[in-house]
């Protein structure tokens, strides 16, 4: 089940909210657990058993780590617990990749090799395994207390707003909210607003731009215009798809009293890759920093070790996205850029994004770009777009085929092979999406606070616009009948 589906919007969500608010407060964690497991089982009932097993495993080892008689026992129990969770990820996500690579390295046919298995990837496995690991590690570090009950922990891990696509949450950030949280009309209203914004991003923009990327990426000999149009289309599609889904997740959390972390903050107006990773998939960036980069030594062991740690962290972060050489290369690309920028003096600010804050205000929190101001933004965006080509391509050869088109090896103008694949409406939405990317910070600032605008309050104008966008989203959703989410595969 996805948020952008008629069944979720008109059946599951109203039913869940009705039950949630009718039961006593003490029973709401159980309602969250049962409702979220039903949400997950809608995809495949059999994989719900895997989810439940990871939940029991993590809760049990969390309690065992907390009860360890000495630090050595605690470390041993943490190692076993983390290894068990990683084993789930390794088998379901990476076994096929390594088995296929092994077969090819020895000249075997993967299709007939007995050890190459067709393993189905459970949706959201990367997210809930990371959350499982952070729970056990935080208890070992004494950064968090174990959950008061199994139901409370199950409600955290299964919380359906972030169950299959993040944000990547840590139990210590939600522990107080699991046991006690406020439910107000203002919070519910803010959640509805954010959900409608996310739905419009996903359905009206991402789903409309998707046919351009899907049609142009497979071209065998793309021209310069073909290739750049494909790359820009996917750049827009991915942002509005993922940030829209994250907005819906945060909005749903607010509807039931939870304040989830913000996952995107205008990433395409960044002036360095260092700044980009403080704005893109923020919850994952923080997770990689706290559970991988810092344990590797962070920036505490000299410049060369810092560059190495940045590179390794991003390579593993790329591999987290998928079992394919393309993701490893994409991670290495960003890791190398981060290391180069650190060498040139880049610094990332420490303060978290504040709701309603513009990109320029947020940039003042300590970001320092190593690139000349006049080219910093277009250069950074070019780096990002080039990376997305490798991220989107089915294999490395296809990615380099598109790169060849981007430098004009196959001609300059739109090819006839590409022309018939493009619809004017989709191209118009792509232009609108590009414009929104750059004016979104100003729109957020303008309509976040109240005030007069031609006799109408900004809040009233924003509310009217949201109603129109929500209606348009539902109509388009009904017409399309299918609205896949890109990060399901991760």
pTM summary value: 0.88
Rounded to whole angstroms, how far apart are CA atoms 147 and 164?
Answer: 21
- Per DSSP, the residues of 78-138 read HHHHHHHHHHHHIIIIIHHHHHHHHHHHTT--TTT-TT-------TTHHHHHHHHHHHHHH
The angle formed by the CA atoms of residues 158, 186 and 463, to the nearest 5 degrees, is: 105
Q: Which two structure tokens, joined as six digits, stand for 52?
A: 């439940």
pLDDT of res. 455: 44
217 and 286: one domain?
yes
How does pLDDT run across 439-453, given as a tens digit for each residue?
Answer: 988 877 766 544 444
Domain closes at, from 181, 209, 228? 181
Q: Which two structure tokens, joined as six digits, stand for 334?
A: 């960003």
How does pLDDT run across 67-98, given as a tens digit for each residue?
Answer: 999 999 999 999 999 999 999 999 998 888 88
34 and 143: one domain?
yes
Rounded to whole angstroms, how far apart are CA atoms 315 and 311?
Answer: 6
Backbone angles phi, psi at 411, to 5 degrees: 100, 170
248 and 125: one domain?
no
Mean pLDDT of the chain: 87
Is 140 contained in some domain?
Answer: yes
The owner of tokens 């990002």 is 384
CA atoms lying within 13 Å on the CB side of residue 40? 28
The owner of tokens 């107006």 is 269
105 and 169: one domain?
yes
Please compute the mean of the pLDDT values over residues 58-70 and round it to a whole number.
Answer: 95
485 and 357: one domain?
yes
Domain closes at, from 130, 155, 181? 181
pLDDT of res. 421: 80
- DSSP H or E stretch at residue 425: helix 424-448
Is 1 contained in some domain?
Answer: no
Domain closes at, from 181, 205, 232? 181
141 and 207: one domain?
no
User: What is the band of 431 on the pLDDT scale with cuts at 50, 70, 90?
Assistant: very high
161 and 198: one domain?
no
Q: Are 441 and 359 in contact (CB under 8 A)?
A: yes
Q: Annotated catalytic, 321?
A: yes
Rounded to whole angstroms, how far apart are CA atoms 50 and 383?
Answer: 38
User: What is the band of 318 on the pLDDT scale with cuts at 50, 70, 90?
Assistant: very high
Backbone angles phi, psi at 346, to 5 degrees: -70, 145
Least confident piece of the model among 46-55, 373-382, 408-417, 454-463: 454-463
Report the number of distinct structural domains present in the chain.
2
Question: Please, what sign has the CA dihedral across residues 252, 255, 257, 259?
Answer: positive
Q: For residue 65, is pLDDT > 70?
A: yes
- DSSP H or E stretch at residue 340: helix 325-343
What 8-state DSSP symbol labels residue 452? E
Among candidate residues 162, 265, 281, 321, the one labeled active-site is 321
Between the alpha carbon of residue 96 and those of residues 100, 111, 312, 328, the distances in Å are 6, 11, 22, 15
Q: Are 341 and 326 in contact (CB under 8 A)?
A: no
Range of the domain at 224: 188-489
Rounded to whole angstroms, how far apart are CA atoms 294 and 236?
Answer: 32
């Amino acid at each position: 089940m996805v948020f952008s589906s008629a069944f979720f919007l008109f059946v599951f969500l109203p039913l869940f909210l009705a039950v949630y608010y009718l039961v006593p407060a003490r029973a709401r964690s159980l309602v969250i657990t049962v409702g979220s497991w039903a949400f997950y089982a809608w995809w495949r009932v059999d994989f719900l058993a895997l989810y439940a097993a990871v939940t029991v495993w993590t809760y049990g080892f969390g309690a065992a780590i907390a009860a360890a008689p000495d630090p050595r026992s605690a470390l041993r129990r943490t190692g076993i617990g983390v290894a068990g969770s990683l084993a789930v990820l390794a088998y379901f996500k990476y076994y096929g990749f390594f088995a296929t690579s092994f077969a090819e390295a020895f000249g075997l046919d993967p299709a007939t090799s007995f050890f190459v298995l067709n393993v189905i990837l459970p949706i959201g496995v990367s997210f809930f395994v990371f959350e499982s690991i952070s729970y056990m590690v935080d208890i070992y570090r004494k950064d968090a207390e174990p959950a008061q009950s199994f139901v409370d922990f199950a409600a955290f891990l299964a919380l359906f707003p972030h169950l299959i696509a993040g944000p990547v949450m840590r139990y210590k950030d939600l522990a107080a909210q699991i046991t006690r949280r406020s439910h107000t009309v203002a919070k519910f209203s803010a959640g509805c607003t954010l959900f409608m914004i996310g739905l419009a991003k996903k359905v009206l923009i991402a789903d409309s731009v998707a046919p351009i990327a899907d049609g142009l990426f497979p071209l065998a000999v793309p021209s310069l215009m073909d290739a750049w149009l494909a790359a820009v289309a996917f750049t827009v599609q991915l942002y509005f798809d993922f940030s829209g889904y994250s907005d819906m997740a945060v909005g749903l959390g607010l509807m039931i009293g939870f304040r989830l972390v913000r996952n995107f903050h205008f990433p395409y107006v960044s002036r360095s890759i260092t700044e980009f990773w403080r704005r893109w998939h923020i919850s994952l960036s923080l997770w990689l920093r706290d559970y991988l980069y810092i344990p590797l030594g962070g920036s505490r062991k000299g410049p060369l070790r810092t560059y190495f740690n940045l590179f390794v962290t991003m390579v593993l972060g790329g591999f987290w996205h998928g079992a394919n050489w393309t993701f490893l290369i994409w991670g290495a690309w960003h890791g190398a850029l981060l290391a180069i920028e650190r060498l040139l003096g880049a610094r990332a600010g420490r303060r978290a994004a504040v709701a309603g804050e513009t990109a320029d205000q947020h940039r003042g929190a300590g970001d320092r770009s190593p690139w000349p101001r006049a080219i910093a933004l277009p250069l950074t965006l070019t780096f990002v777009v080039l990376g997305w080509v490798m991220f989107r391509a089915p294999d490395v050869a296809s990615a380099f085929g598109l790169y060849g088109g981007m430098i004009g090896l196959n001609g300059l103008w739109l090819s006839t092979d590409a022309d018939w694949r493009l619809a004017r409406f989709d191209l118009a939405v792509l232009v609108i999406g590009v414009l929104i990317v750059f004016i979104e910070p100003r729109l957020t600032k303008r309509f976040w606070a109240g005030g007069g605008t031609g006799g109408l309050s900004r809040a009233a104008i924003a509310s009217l616009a949201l109603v129109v966008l929500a209606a348009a989203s539902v109509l388009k959703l009904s017409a399309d009948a299918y609205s896949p989410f890109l990060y399901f595969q991760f």
